[in-house]
Amino acid sequence: MIIKALKLVTGEELVVEITNEAETEVTFRNPVAAILQRTKTGEGALGFMPWMHSAVGPFTIHMSQIVCVAEVADEVKSGYNQIYGAGLVVPPQQLITG
């Protein structure tokens, strides 16, 4: 599963599963919009919101509508996999001492 972040010319930031990346367009499925949310403590946290509520995909966007395509951070990938993947969460890497 190839998970990427797309920044669109509209300002939306999507996290998607890329199914095909061509010279002029990108095809993907299971898109979510990445949004900043405020926690109870007032801190900012990244959340996901459904994108294209009325469609099931796959979706194709022309490259002229995409500002940036990038890898996603491990914690974002884990959150996305909780929704669309096998439900596995990869814990952060830590030094094991003993």
For 20-23, the CB contacts below 8 A with 24+ separation are 21/69, 23/63
Domain at 2-84, CATH class: mainly beta
Looking at the chain, list the stretches that DSSP marks H as alpha helix, in order from N- to C-terminal side. Answer: 74-84
Measured from the Cβ of residue 2, the count of other Cβ atoms closer than 10 Å reads: 11
Query: Which residue ranges make up each domain of the chain?
Result: 2-84
29-79 tens-digit pLDDT: 999 999 988 888 878 888 999 999 899 889 999 999 999 999 999 989 988
**Residues contacting 48, CB < 8 A, separation 6+:** 15, 32, 33, 34, 35, 79, 80, 83
pTM of this structure: 0.81
- pLDDT surpasses 60 at 6: yes
Torsion angles phi and psi, residue 72, rounded to 5: -100, 155
